[in-house]
């Protein structure tokens, strides 16, 4: 039997309010459990609380109430939050906030400054990370000399510098064309598979979400859906459900031409299946 996977993220009744008298409810009782090695996409309309959730998980902000545990630590009781942010989580944002006056290599070295390692070892590790994101030939370039996709790859290498348990990415492909988007997603999936890094990626892009093994959809600060994409046919079934024949089968109306072929039982089973998707 497979080993049970460790839980990397656990939230209980997580809530965040803003404004006078907590007028704005950004998150409203979110319960999530995410295991090591999962690749989770977070979707939902603008203002549904996606970034707020990421900010709480990364300890960039504090919840109004509820519990948030990351890598076994209750964030309310973490003494050294700076250390937590630099050791346990890696952040990738849409605006990659690379330091413009530093080269790609120097940007990736920043999170390693606190590590007790020699300058040579630090450089070696940063070079290895840039190799991982396929940018060995650009390591001495400044951010302004890189394309948007290349800059995002530097940001990903930087996020991985300290071997974080969890990478939080807020629309990491938001400002990229579809080719660069595919490249970044392929890279994140590769890192997820090969390094076992856990990813939580906020996205509006269904193509990006399709790369995930689980999609959490927020609406008005609540989890509207939490789906594991184990069945690759799920989306196809949903599409079929919305057709005239799909609607009929869901309602248990077996079209006469199917009956004539003796397919009543099969049609009824498909109807039953469609009611569950
Ligand atoms: N610092 C803040 N002060 C007041 N309200 C805030 C603050 N940050 C977020 N909100 C509100 O909380 C709600 C959730 O915002 P959040 O940024 O999490 O949404 P989102 O799902 O990331 O949206 P988008 O897809 O547009 O990025 C919104 O109504 C927003 O206006
Ligand atoms: Mg957002």
Q: How far is the CA of 67 from the centre of ligand 1 (A)?
A: 20
Q: For residues 215-244, b (16+ Cβ closer than 10 Å) or e, as one string?
A: bbbbeebbbeeebebeeeeeeeeeebbeee
Domain count, the chain: 2
26 C-beta closer than 6 A to ligand 1: yes
Instruction: For residues 111 and 206, state if they share a domain.
Output: yes
pLDDT category of residue 116 using cuts at 50, 70 and 90: confident
Taking only the tens place, the pLDDT of each residue in 162-175 is: 888 899 999 888 87
Here the tokens at position 17 are 């309010």
| Same domain membership, residue 239 and residue 147 | no
| 172 lies in the same domain as 247 | no
pLDDT tens across 258-268, in order?
A: 888 889 989 99
Q: Which residue has the tokens 């938001």?
A: 174
Residue 1 lies in a domain: no
**pLDDT per position as a tens digit, 243-253:** 999 999 999 99
Residue 221 phi, psi (nearest 5): 80, 5
Token pair, residue 55, equals 């900010």
Give percent of the chain with pLDDT exceeding 70. 95
Contact 89, 240 (CB under 8 A): no
User: 96 pLDDT band (50/70/90 cuts)?
Assistant: low
Q: What pLDDT digit, counting tens, does each position of 201-235 carry?
A: 999 888 888 889 899 999 999 999 999 876 556 66
> Where in the sequence is the domain holding 226, given as residue range(s)?
37-64+71-231
174 lines ligand 1 (CB under 6 A): no
Q: Is 198 in the pocket of ligand 1 (CB under 6 A)?
A: no
- Which ligand gives the minimal distance to the CA of 216? 1
Give bridge partners of residue 216 from the DSSP assignment: 42, 226
**Would residue 13 count as lying in a domain?**
no
146 and 81 co-located in one domain: yes
Mean pLDDT of all residues in 15-35:
92
Check whether residue 214 and residue 258 sit in a common domain. no
Distance 91 CA to ligand 2 centre (A): 14
Question: Do 220 and 154 have their domain in common?
Answer: yes
How many CA atoms lie less than 13 Å away from 201 in the CB half-sphere? 32
């Amino acid at each position: 039997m497979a080993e049970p996977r460790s839980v990397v993220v656990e939230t209980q009744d997580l809530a965040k309010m803003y404004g006078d008298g907590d007028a704005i409810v950004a998150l409203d009782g979110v319960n999530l459990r995410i295991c090591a090695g999962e690749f989770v996409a977070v979707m939902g309309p603008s203002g549904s609380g996606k970034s707020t959730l990421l900010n709480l998980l990364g300890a960039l902000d504090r919840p109004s109430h509820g519990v948030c545990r990351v890598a076994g630590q209750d964030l309310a009781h973490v003494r050294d939050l700076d250390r937590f942010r630099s050791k346990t989580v890696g952040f990738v944002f849409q605006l990659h906030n690379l330091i413009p006056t530093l080269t790609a290599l120097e940007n990736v070295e920043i999170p390693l400054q606190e590590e007790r390692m020699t300058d040579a070892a630090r450089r070696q590790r940063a070079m290895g990370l840039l190799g991982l994101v396929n940018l060995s030939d650009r390591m001495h370039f400044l951010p302004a000399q890189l394309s948007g996709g290349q800059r995002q790859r530097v940001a990903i290498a930087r996020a991985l510098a300290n071997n974080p348990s969890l990478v939080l990415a807020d629309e990491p492909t938001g400002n990229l064309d579809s080719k660069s988007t595919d490249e970044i997603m392929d890279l994140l999936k590769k890192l997820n598979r090969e390094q076992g890094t856990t990813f939580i990626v906020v996205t509006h892009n269904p193509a990006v979400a399709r790369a995930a093994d689980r999609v959490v959809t927020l609406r008005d600060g609540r989890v509207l859906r939490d789906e594991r994409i184990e069945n690759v046919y799920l989306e196809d079934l949903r599409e079929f459900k919305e057709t005239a024949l799909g609607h009929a089968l869901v309602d248990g109306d077996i079209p006469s031409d199917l009956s004539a072929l003796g397919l009543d039982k099969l049609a009824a089973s498909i109807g039953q299946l469609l009611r569950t998707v």
